[in-house]
Structure formats: C-alpha cells, structure tokens
Amino acid sequence: MLFDLSIYRVKGDSMSPYIPNNSFVITKPLTNMKKNKLLIFDHKVYGKLIKSLINVDSSNFFWFKGNSSKSISMQDIGPIKKEQIIGEIIFSISKSSIKFHL
Amino acid sequence: MIYNLLNFIDKIKPVEKTSAHCDIPCKIYDPITSQIAVLTMIRLVDLINEIETKESLTAQDHAQISRLVSQKEEHGHIVKDEIRIIWGDYIKQPQLEKYPELHDLAHSIMLGASKAKQNIDKSATVDLLEKVNRFAEIFWDSKNIKTFKAVSPYPPEQELIYPDLKK
C-alpha cells in the first residue's frame, strides 16, 4: 500500500471484457456509494472479490454483480457489510489498455 | 508498457490477487425448466379464470386469486432466467450461425414472458409456450439430439417438445 493506494491482480472472467482476466487494478479507500462503481471486498466464501456495486439497501448492505453472464449472481454473493469493503477501483491496466474508473 | 512493468514486478514480488469469480462451468443446461414454468403459467391463468366465472367472490376467492397471480409472476421470472442462462452461457457463435433466429427468439421470449406476467390472458401464455418450445427444439438440435412433440400428461395438457434420449 502506498498513499492509501493498493494494487491487485484480477483473476477470472466475470468482469470481462471491461476488466479482462490478469489485469491489474489500483484501488483507494471507499469514498462514496455511487451505483456501478467497481469495488473490491472480502467475501467469506470467495475471498477477495471485484464486482460492480448495484445498490446499498435500507439496512446498509451492499449488493454486487459481475459484468459478464459467467459471473456468480447477486444472490450467490449475498449482502456485504461496509466493513468488508476493501476499496474502490480508480484505474485498471490490461495488456491492451489503461482505463480510469472515476 | 505499464502492464509489462507491473507484470515484471508481480513475478518478482507477487501482488495480492482479487477474484472476478465465475460460475463453475458445470455444462448442465436443459430448457425443460422453462417449459414447465410456462405450463405452470398457463395452468394458473386457467385457475384464475375459473374463479372469475363465479357470481360473487368470497374472501377466500380473493386470497386465492392473489396467490395464483403471485405464482404466475414468479414462474414468469423463472422462464426468463432459465432462457437467459442457456442463451447467455451455452449459446456461442457456432449455434448463432446455425440458428440465426436465436437472438430474436430469445428476445421475443423475454417480451412474451413480460406480457404473460402483466395480463390474465391465456393466449399470451400459449404464445409464450410456442416460443419456448421452439427454443427447446433448437437447443436439442444443437446437441444432435432428436426431439418429439407430446401433450403433457397433466393440466394444462399442452404440447411440449421433449428430447428423445433413447439410443
């Protein structure tokens, strides 16, 4: 971690083609709960996951989905607490492109 | 260039991994779930229509209609979900080339299921079954499995496409 920034390597195709398998992503701590924001969180079954934020419900649970039809579903991921959120993606680096996610 | 640099660093001092986790590709696909869900919708419309013919409705009848409508809604979602899974996960370019109607057919099933959910209209549900049956026919043909038509041996006794799995 450097200046609150962290780097992760993405494994899997559920965010493809937006973030292809083997991309690198840079995260910063969560600043807001904007819909469709890409977040990394700690899942008790799947470990560290990268997914798109769909909604924060009235009980303050975060709900996520993948970007590909191959992704595990929102129901499989289940509700995520704010304490489980590790950070939000600010940019991603794949073999062919660098994308900013602001 | 940045990617190559990060890749190099990752090899020397591996960065933490995050998973874009996917479903396990179990390869278990079968349109029968969606076909039975449409049959259920047809049956539910029949049951609602039966209650509607009564001269006056009791509280029990109102409660029953509410349950039937709720179930019809749920089975409409099942139809859409099951078709979407096959369409999104199983159907690939070779199937699309062999059956060019697939995209339009899948989309028309989505629209048809919505229409069947929104209305108490038997013709909308029967029309939906026809589309889902065609989807099933294509699915089995893509696996080189012959199909046959038979009337379901239970209400609403509609014709379904079944795979002929006997060798």
Considering only residues 20 to 49 of chain A, which have any Cβ-Cβ distance to chain B shorter than 8 Å? 21, 24-25, 40, 46-49
Give a yes or no: residue B14 inside a domain.
no
Give a yes or no: residue B13 inside a domain.
no
Give the least confident one: A21-25, A34-38, B6-10, B18-22.
B18-22
Burial of A2 (0-12, 13-18, 19+ CB in 10 A): exposed
- Interchain CB distance below 8 Å, A93 and B22: no
Residues of B in contact with A7 (CB under 8 A): 6, 15-16
Give a yes or no: residue B53 inside a domain.
yes
CATH label of the domain that carries residue B47: 1.20.120.400
Q: In this predicted structure, what is the pLDDT of residue B46?
A: 97
Give a yes or no: residue B22 inside a domain.
no
Domain that holds residue B120: 28-163
Give a yes or no: residue B76 inside a domain.
yes
Q: What is the pLDDT of residues A41-56, one digit of tens each?
A: 998 878 899 999 999 9
Of B3, B84, B88, the CB nearest to A93: B3
pLDDT level of residue A97 (50, 70, 90 thresholds): confident
Return the HEC string of chain B: CHHHHHHHHHHHCCCEEEECCECCCCCCCCCHHHHHHHHHHHHHHHHHHHHHCCCCCCHHHHHHHHHHHHHHHHHHHHHHHHHHHHHHHHCCHHHHHHCCCHHHHHHHHHHHHHHHHHCCCHHHHHHHHHHHHHHHHHHHHHCCCCEEEEECCCCCCCEEEEECCCC
- Interchain CB distance below 8 Å, B23 and A50: no
Give a yes or no: residue B150 inside a domain.
yes
Q: In this predicted structure, what is the pLDDT of residue A85?
A: 95
Please give the tally of structural domains in chain B. 1
Q: How many CB atoms lie within 10 A of CB A48?
A: 17
CA distances from B46 to B39, B49, B155 (A): 11, 5, 10
Residue A24 has pLDDT above 80, yes or no: yes
Q: In this predicted structure, what is the pLDDT of residue A101?
A: 81
Q: In this predicted structure, what is the pLDDT of residue A34?
A: 85
The contact set of B with A (CB < 8 A) is 2-3, 6, 10, 14-23, 25, 84-85, 88-89
- Interchain CB distance below 8 Å, B18 and A10: yes
* Structural domains of chain A, with CATH: 6-100 (2.10.109.10)
